[in-house]
Structure 1
Amino acid sequence: LENVRRGQFEGIREDIATNPSRKPDFGDPRVHPTAGATVVGARKFLIAYNIFLSTPEVDIAKKVAKAVRFSSGGLRYVKGAGFLVRGLAQVSMNLTDFEQTPIHRVFEFVKREAARYGVAPVSSEIVGLIPKKALESAAEWFLQVENFDSSLILENRLTAVVGGKMAVGGLRSGIEPFVEQLAAPIATPGGGSAAAASGAMAAALATMVVSMSRGKKAYLQYERELSDAIARLSQLREELKGAIDADAESYNAVMKAYKQAKNSADADGIITAALRQATAVPLSVAERAREVAEIAERLKPITNSNMKSDLTTGIALARAAIEGAMANVEINLESLKDEPFVAEVRKRAEALRP
């Protein structure tokens, strides 16, 4: 946003007509003579965070702000300035990515830097809203809670139960309906859905291990790798969960296609389209499970060694997902007459072999 606003209204008015990099995404390259222009964008949540120091000397706040802000060589994703507010020196900051540079780390940095000038924080304030996750991370850091997880917070647990994300009655009650559906004497859900569920559980276990290692002092040097792993594993977990239903739906679509084909002039086309989709779903499950396994392997040396068994279990689940999904791919390929599609699938399948 600061790049868009650079030059203020007068500068934008002149620059927008001649500088290609300032050309708006929508509308003509000019601003309204009095209303100006509207900027619409998206970014990570910004936390406006201020720390008051035990001194009225604003120069100290400015020196501390200079040390903490990234533009002067300080912490990444931190902007800062010093002011005199309510008779006290204030280090005023914007935290543009609290997951990469958490609020507790900023507070500790300011505290240590202020000590160089013989002062200390007396209070801090949050202007506007703050994500709950930011405060949970701060609580975990300052309280040094072992094996902290946000589900330990009562309100989070209640929200999960009410929202259907956690079952009342223990873990068994959460998984039991799906297990019993698998056991029922009907074709779906079947092995394909079970493979997708196995892959989703693998991603979940790996995410747990990363989440319980990130932010710990012993693994701060791997902060970037761990954050990237959490982001990707979360995406894979959601996609694999979606494939649980998608696999069952694709099987049912094949059965429906065979029935429709009996009264259609394009019988082969109807069946082929359904079989292609029924093949694509488990193939995508296998590919995603393979990625989960690869991420989990890379996590072993950079996460808590006490959780090695969780990663091992996750990798085993991912491999089971690959094997189960590929079995479904193969059985569909046997019925497909679309040779180019079959060849492409077999090529992708070959890349999944260990």
Structure 2
Amino acid sequence: MNKQLIECVPNISEGRDLHKIQTIANVVKEVEGVKLLDIDPGKATNRTVITFVGEPKNVIEAAFRLIKKASELIDMSKHSGEHPRFGATDVCPLVPIANISMEETAKFAHQLGKRVGDELGISGYFYENAATSDERKNLATVRSGEYQGLKEKFNTTNWKPDFGPSTYNQQVISSGVTAISARDFLIAYNVNLNSTSTRRANAIAFDVREAGRTLRGGNPATGKKVLDENGEPKRVPGKLKAVKGIGWFIDEYGIAQISYNLTNISITSMHEAFEETVLSATSRGLRVTGSELVGLVPLQAILDAADYFLRKQERSLGISESEKIKIAVKSLGLDDLKPFNPQERIIEYVMNADADKKLIDFTVKDFAEETASESMAPGGGSIAAYVGVLGVSLGTMVANLSAHKPGWDDQWEYFSAWAEKGQKYKNDLLFLVDEDTNAFNKIIDGFRLPKSTEEEIIIRKKAVEDATKYATEIPFKVMKTAYNSMEVMLEMAKKGLQNSLSDAGVGALCARTAVIGAYFNVRINAKDIKDRAFADKMLSDAKIIYEKAIALEQEMMALVDAKI
């Protein structure tokens, strides 16, 4: 069964004392199975966002220890900062990452809150998907009045804490309260202005955020509030859903910012928030100079931003992941205030930082040296897959060159679509480069199993048989993917940049080599499979692909010869 993973993103009310921050964050490392991903302090806000991930029970233990340590080191009666806050650990959201529902995550949030209240004597509230009532779902509502308003809050019947003591005591004065939630992945995102005016920044925030602004009669800034039939202030909604925002001045950088929480990036993306801010700022005589991410961001959010700006530029979307990241960083100005390191800011990259080095991470020279060494892997299967990678990469190159050719602007989307197809084939084949070696290693592992008893012999035989089947399926996938990728080279030879005709031709030859090389591996592995029905079907299907690839190669070569 796949592991359940949740992310925890506590925000502590300390952003200036690095020793305190590190001491608090380090307690997370003490819990086995939890990975500390990021520590992002802010001086002006006097707040630090800490991010860690792991299996639910381990994450809950780490969060509990962090809240305890923060309450010991942070005295809220002496705290000041730009960001709204009411506790040493101000908020502690849990985010479902893998193989766990929001409902299950909410139950873990409740478990954490109960421990914090019972064992630490710290009071707090549940919000968003862990909220105990609709009134408490919105964090801004829960945190209204902030730390200074806690005494009044505790004395209000409707705002008794969800966990911990319900009386305003010395613990509350020292550590404040904590808000715990289960929520969707939230991006904390600040947009920078060429201004020092908090009022102007707030005006833009009101234009953009979902809650908008209070409707006023006469002067929109100073006029009397317009009330509805229930006596509540009417509001003018902002432009974007699932967006919270306020304006503030950041002394550290000497600029005003709009600070957004993008609470559901499938509804409003980072680049949509950025673009709407640009429009609002421009209409008010201001200029957006860049933006800033607080904490980590999913890779897809960055890639979506890159695709958006590439479309605006009428450029091909079929470029590499690393190039897309560069486009997104520059388009959003994510390096405006400080360098943006994808390895430290993109959640998938951070989580994989300690993973074993893959073959595809080697330099070209090192890959060749590893192949030439006395070890049996990588072997012909991995090399066949990599030759296929090179082949479709050439076809994709021709598509990208064609998309950018002067005078072909009306065809950029057509060639972009082919480049995206090529990138998909390339990525699939890159995965198979390492997976072929992994499959071979599974066979070796099977043979290394003990065989002292009859039961061990049965287990060992099954493991070897299953591994051999898998080691046959992987080169078959290489065959299939490399053959299918030849459509890119054929189409580019027909309609792409004719100066690159030879590149398309070489790409097709590489793909054909990948098919034949993988076919050798299918055949040699299939002969050891005891399940002959499985093996015969695999061999039959592989032969069909082999013959199709040879025929397509001949068609491609005839086309290239005729055009050259």
Query: TM-score, normalized by length of structure 1?
Result: 0.56
* Alpha-carbon distance in 1 for matches of 2:450, 2:487: 42
Closer, same or farther: CA 194–103 of 1 in aligned 2, 3 Å: closer
Q: CA deviation at 1:99?
A: 2.5
Q: How does 1:111-150 map to 2 (within 5 A)?
A: 132-133=326-327
State yes or no: 1:226 paired with 2:432: no
Contact (CA 8 Å) 1:202, 1:317: kept in 2 or not?
Answer: yes
Residue type of the alignment partner of 1:313: V
Closer, same or farther: CA 321–261 of 1 in aligned 2, 3 Å: farther
2:97 corresponds to which residue?
A: none
Among all aligned residue pairs of Structure 1 and Structure 2, give the percentage whose two residues are the same amino acid.
22
* Alpha-carbon distance in 2 for matches of 1:233, 1:226: 10
Contact (CA 8 Å) 1:45, 1:96: kept in 2 or not?
Answer: no
Q: Given the alignment, which residue of 457, 463, 487 partners 1:265?
A: 457
1:48 corresponds to which residue?
A: 275
State yes or no: 1:243 paired with 2:432: yes
Q: Name which structure has the greater RCO, CA cutoff 8 Å, separation 6+.
A: 1
Larger displacement relative to structure 2 (251-260 or 39-48): 39-48
Q: CA deviation at 1:271?
A: 1.4
Q: Deviations over 1:299-324 (max 9, x none)?
A: 22232111111111111111101100
Contact (CA 8 Å) 1:206, 1:311: kept in 2 or not?
Answer: yes
* Alpha-carbon distance in 2 for matches of 1:316, 1:103: 31
Closer, same or farther: CA 176–135 of 1 in aligned 2, 3 Å: closer
2:507 corresponds to which residue?
A: 314
Q: Partner of 1:328: helix, strand, or coil?
A: helix
Q: Partner of 2:398: helix, strand, or coil?
A: helix
Q: Given the alignment, which residue of 301, 305, 312 partners 1:101?
A: 312
Contact (CA 8 Å) 1:44, 1:97: kept in 2 or not?
Answer: no
Residue type of the alignment partner of 1:295: V
Contact (CA 8 Å) 1:182, 1:188: kept in 2 or not?
Answer: yes
Q: CA deviation at 1:256?
A: 2.6
Residue type of the alignment partner of 2:420: A
Contact (CA 8 Å) 1:200, 1:241: kept in 2 or not?
Answer: yes
2:496 corresponds to which residue?
A: 303
State yes or no: 1:292 paired with 2:485: yes
Contact (CA 8 Å) 1:48, 1:95: kept in 2 or not?
Answer: no
Q: CA deviation at 1:135?
A: 10
Q: Partner of 2:480: helix, strand, or coil?
A: helix
Larger displacement relative to structure 2 (228-237 or 271-280): 228-237
Closer, same or farther: CA 184–314 of 1 in aligned 2, 3 Å: same
* Alpha-carbon distance in 1 for matches of 2:328, 2:531: 52
* Alpha-carbon distance in 2 for matches of 1:134, 1:245: 29
1:325 corresponds to which residue?
A: 518
Residue type of the alignment partner of 2:518: A
Q: How does 1:51-90 map to 2 (within 5 A)?
A: 86=285
* Alpha-carbon distance in 1 for matches of 2:476, 2:329: 40
Contact (CA 8 Å) 2:381, 2:521: kept in 1 or not?
Answer: yes
Q: CA deviation at 1:330?
A: 0.7
* Alpha-carbon distance in 2 for matches of 1:259, 1:342: 24
Q: CA deviation at 1:101?
A: 3.5
State yes or no: 1:194 paired with 2:352: no
1:213 corresponds to which residue?
A: 402
Contact (CA 8 Å) 2:380, 2:518: kept in 1 or not?
Answer: yes
Q: Deviations over 1:232-256 (max 9, x none)?
A: 2222222222222221221122123
2:160 corresponds to which residue?
A: none
Q: CA RMSD in A?
A: 4.2
Q: CA deviation at 1:96?
A: 8.4
Closer, same or farther: CA 206–95 of 1 in aligned 2, 3 Å: closer
Q: Deviations over 1:59-115 (max 9, x none)?
A: xxxxxxxxxxxxxxxxxxxxx99x96559xxxxxx99833333179xxxxxxxxxxx
Closer, same or farther: CA 102–269 of 1 in aligned 2, 3 Å: same
How many residue pairs are counted as aligned between the two chains? 239
2:7 corresponds to which residue?
A: none
Residue type of the alignment partner of 2:264: V
- Structure 1: unaligned runs, 5 residues or longer: 1-24, 52-79, 88-93, 105-129, 138-154, 164-172
1:348 corresponds to which residue?
A: 541
* Alpha-carbon distance in 1 for matches of 2:473, 2:270: 34
Contact (CA 8 Å) 2:382, 2:434: kept in 1 or not?
Answer: yes
Closer, same or farther: CA 136–308 of 1 in aligned 2, 3 Å: farther
* Alpha-carbon distance in 2 for matches of 1:131, 1:204: 19
Q: How does 1:160-179 map to 2 (within 5 A)?
A: 174-179=363-368
State yes or no: 1:274 paired with 2:485: no
* Alpha-carbon distance in 2 for matches of 1:44, 1:207: 28
Closer, same or farther: CA 212–255 of 1 in aligned 2, 3 Å: same
Q: Partner of 2:309: helix, strand, or coil?
A: coil
Q: Partner of 1:213: helix, strand, or coil?
A: helix
Q: CA deviation at 1:325?
A: 0.7
* Alpha-carbon distance in 1 for matches of 2:364, 2:432: 17
Q: CA deviation at 1:333?
A: 0.7
Contact (CA 8 Å) 1:219, 1:302: kept in 2 or not?
Answer: no
Residue type of the alignment partner of 1:257: G
Residue type of the alignment partner of 1:40: N
* Alpha-carbon distance in 1 for matches of 2:518, 2:270: 36
Closer, same or farther: CA 132–50 of 1 in aligned 2, 3 Å: farther
Closer, same or farther: CA 341–41 of 1 in aligned 2, 3 Å: farther
- Structure 2: unaligned runs, 5 residues or longer: 1-101, 104-128, 139-210, 212-240, 243-262, 287-304, 316-323, 332-338, 344-348, 350-361, 549-564
* Alpha-carbon distance in 2 for matches of 1:331, 1:294: 28
Contact (CA 8 Å) 1:222, 1:302: kept in 2 or not?
Answer: no
Contact (CA 8 Å) 2:306, 2:325: kept in 1 or not?
Answer: no
Q: Deviations over 1:266-298 (max 9, x none)?
A: 143121111011111111111111122122111
Closer, same or farther: CA 44–317 of 1 in aligned 2, 3 Å: farther
* Alpha-carbon distance in 2 for matches of 1:214, 1:306: 14
Contact (CA 8 Å) 2:385, 2:514: kept in 1 or not?
Answer: yes
